[in-house]
Amino acid sequence: MGRMSENAEIQATTVTTDHILGTPWGKNRTRILMLGSGELGKEVTIELMRLGAWVCAADSYEGAPAAQVAHESRVLDMADPTALQALFDEIRPDIIVPEVEAIATEDLAAAAGSGIQVVPSADVASICMDRERLRVLAHEDLGLATTPYLFAGSLQELRRNAESVGYPCVVKPIMSSSGHGQSVVDSAEGIDAAWHEAQVGRRAAGAGSVSRVIVEALAPLDYELTVLTVSSSAGVVTCPPIGQRQEHGDYRESWQPAYVDPQVLSTAQDMASRAVRGLVSQARRSGERGWGVFGVELFVLDDGSVLFNEVSPRPHDTGMVTMISQRLSEFALHARAILGIPVTRDHVRLCIGPDRVAASHALVVHGEGEVGFGNVAQALACPDTDLRIFSKPVVHGHRRMAVALAVGDDETRARALAARVAGDLRQERS
């Protein structure tokens, strides 16, 4: 594949989509199908319904967060092509919004081919679910800087390629997320265990197939950034950068804006824009729009250099902070973009005032069974705080059940206040 021009621009499209909104029970309603109904899908569903769309929320279990607020809901295995096609035939959506990775992508492609708008596109959804295709596009086609990497389809190939990349290294299944199946390997003695973890710990591990893996050098990481990037009928724009803290590859805290060196900021925003423009170009080549919010994940190294890591073709969990930091949250921006409403730089501005920082703190519950929360009044006594309780039916092992939000005079105070909100909640178990 030839490398695309680094200066290639995606022009604002002149195509407009005049969706009929405000008549969810009418004959001319705009029908939207959410594939994935977790906490992120719930917020997108609410924003779409505020704009007058009809929404059906689908997930693999009863009572998922978005299913609690949507007009209708369905329960199915979205990785099952037969079940997914039956759902498409029943709902007859105008727009399909994937919010999870475990989806039968061939059916998304067929839906797009029949004229249904897939967000951001069927091809982009498939690329972003596949670390191999995404890394090749980002590094080899778009010229974005990344960690050194190789791919492997067997344990023997992984052993050879890990030696080439060097230790320590990171081994990840090419199709997974949130740290599932990922291992940090310090020496050759850990490769067998890393291969095993990639096969059994990844999402969709029960599918029975052998997963290819990516092995990449462990970079001297200083910190990570998320740059939410919006593709709409007005073109591509980036939100102020978001700092984050993870545990075992899963989000725990985020804050916005992340005050970083001006050169790092410029490079990060440029890199995010180039990544999304490349994906939008891919969508356009297949006749799709490529509209929506993208969560571009970047590494900032000890020397200040910025590396591309991954991109999520949907709102990002670290972006939950935008529910308190931006005039329009990432969920509102996603809803606008996919409906053909233009999103410009003025739409992605912060609303917290100069020299203020917003923070989010995920509340992860461990255990089994139903979990509720008490002491909410005390937790939200401070006016600079907010809370989203996801209302997930049960916990099995550990599960993200709420997010606390806060605004402070600086990053330290904002993060501490958000953590205090989460800590003040009392877990009620039955």
Q: Which residues are catalytic?
A: 177, 179, 297, 310, 317-318, 400
**Distance (Å, whole) CA 268 – CA 253:** 20
> To the nearest 10°, the Cα dihedral for 236, 230, 92, 21?
-90
ω before 262 within 30° of 0 (cis)? no
What pairing do the DSSP bridges indicate for beta strands 72-75 and 183-185? unpaired
Structure tokens at 424: 């003040």
Contact 264, 304 (CB under 8 A): yes
Contact 232, 343 (CB under 8 A): yes
> To the nearest 10°, the Cα dihedral for 366, 372, 377, 379?
10
Contact 173, 335 (CB under 8 A): no
Which residues does residue 360 pair with via DSSP β-bridges, in sequence order? Answer: 254, 405
Query: Within a 13 Å sphere around the CA of 160, how many CA atoms are in the beta-carbon half?
Result: 6
Which residue's entry shows tokens 């967000």? 119
**Distance (Å, whole) CA 189 – CA 195:** 12
Closest CA to 226 of 315, 136, 336, 345: 315
Amino acid at 61: Y
Amino acid at 255: W
CA gyration radius for the chain? Answer: 21
Residue 266 — φ and ψ, nearest 5°? -60, -45
